[in-house]
Amino acid sequence: MLGAFANAFRTPDLRRKLLFVLLVITIFRLGSQVPTPGVNVANVQSCIADLEEDGLYSLINLFSGGALLQLAVFALGIMPYITASIILQLLVVVIPRLETLKKEGQAGQTKITQYTRYLTLGLAVLQATGIVALARSGQLLQGCQEDLLHDNGTATFLVMVVTMTAGTAVIMWLGELITDRGIGNGMSILIFAQVVATFPSSLWNVQKTNGWWVFGVVMVVGLVLVAAIIFIEQAQRRIPVQYARRMVGRKMFGGSSTYIPLKVNQAGIIPVIFASSLLYLPAMAVQFNPESKNPALLFIADNLVNTGKPLYMAVYFALIIFFVYFYVSITFDPKEVADNMKKYGGFIPGIRAGRPTEDYLSFVLSRITFPGAIYLGMISLVPSIAFVLINADQNFPFGGVSILIMVGVALDTVKQIESQLQQRNYEGFLR
């Protein structure tokens, strides 16, 4: 990995791209520290120093690199874009018009991207309104007695909402700049930058709370987890596909062999985000009714708010497994793959084309998805287990969404750098 980066900096074109990515990340991080107009920075900092982060907002705060609780310009981070992308992926399966656009190639994908941008801005307005309203009422940081805003007037409220929404639009633009002029997927790299930004402070909190001995054990366990994640993220089942020869005019086509790569973790981190978001709903109901004596709310407060509770872990694990199967079922259609193979003269050796191929792909996919779902569930429970064992905070670095994002984006970026290096260093028969 380090060798790939060293070789990339020796290549002028790649060096310019990498430096451009670093420049955009620097601007991105600066925007995450600039406070929104109307925020009482001194009071916000004192409240953050005195209070642990609220688990209700830990996921959004993670994707904002800690900017959410500081009410910065980029407080919403990349979360509205992630939510909009997930919603559009789900709607493509439901709405025929979007499914038609997806099949139109680059032009249709451009249209879907435009819809994603509009939806991102709409979600940003809603999230910014909710966060500013909570800050104005004093419920954003539970237990904080300080005024987070200089002025509770309507003008300040609107300025903050517009500023945070504009920050989300700038983040989208920066991500697209990286995709066009840099290396890798821009949005993924910005998410990576935000998650890594919280990594050192989370590790240092472990050391301050439990000492150097526990810190060393956490580092060793973390390295083992990283190695396991790399191994499983790279694991795939390759289903061989043979294409028959056919005549088109006077030319012979086909006769080649390839494979269909089915990853063990076919769903990525989307199921974890789904499960976390769903479990935030009961926690939100408890937060907005803190004095309620409703038995249902009391049960939720005792069992589904604290991440260290056994019931919370069991429900979280079950939701992740459910969403893994759900997401894989809507993103990989064995019937469509089998039909495309049959249309172009492809077949799996030993399996007849058509319905038998579809059944075979469904069987393999269901078998390989199960260990992937167990793997995602176990990795996601690491922060909850650490919360019980060593009293870690909500953003424990090794485990959950954070470690999956860091490893996944790093692997993808290194692959893209290596592929571009191979293109530039290719040696043919003539030298």
Parent domain of 99? 32-182
Among 50-54, 283-287, 344-348, the minimum mean pLDDT is found in: 50-54
Helix-strand-coil split of the chain, %, nearest 5: 70, 5, 25
Same domain, 162 and 225: no
Residue 8 lies in a domain: no
Domains of the chain: total: 2
The more confident residue out of 43 and 378 is 378
Report whether pLDDT(219) > 70: yes
Residue 254 lies in a domain: yes
Q: Band of the pLDDT at 430, cuts 50, 70, 90?
A: very low
The more confident residue out of 66 and 52 is 66
pLDDT of residue 53: 46
Please state the rounded mean pLDDT for residues 5-12.
74
Report whether pLDDT(88) > 80: yes
Same domain, 161 and 248: no
Full DSSP string of 237-270: EEEEEEE--EEETTEEE---EEEEEEETTTTTTH
Same domain, 336 and 247: yes
d(CA 194, CA 72): 13
Contact predicate 75/34, CB 8 Å: no
Full DSSP string of 321-366: HHHHHHHHHHH--HHHHHHHHHHTTEE-TTS-TTHHHHHHHHHHHH
pLDDT of residue 119: 92
pLDDT of residue 166: 92
Residue 276 lies in a domain: yes
| Domain of residue 276, CATH code | 1.10.3370.10
From the list 399, 193, 184, the residue with the least C-alpha distance to 313 is: 399
pLDDT tens digit string along 295-346? Answer: 776 777 676 766 667 888 888 889 899 989 988 888 888 888 888 888 877 8
Report whether pLDDT(243) > 70: yes
pLDDT of residue 121: 92
Residue 195 lies in a domain: no
Examine the fold and report which residue of 129, 151, 182 is the final residue of a domain before the chain moves on.
182
Average pLDDT, the chain: 79
Same domain, 367 and 300: yes
pLDDT tens digit string along 155-189? Answer: 888 998 999 999 999 999 998 899 888 887 888 88
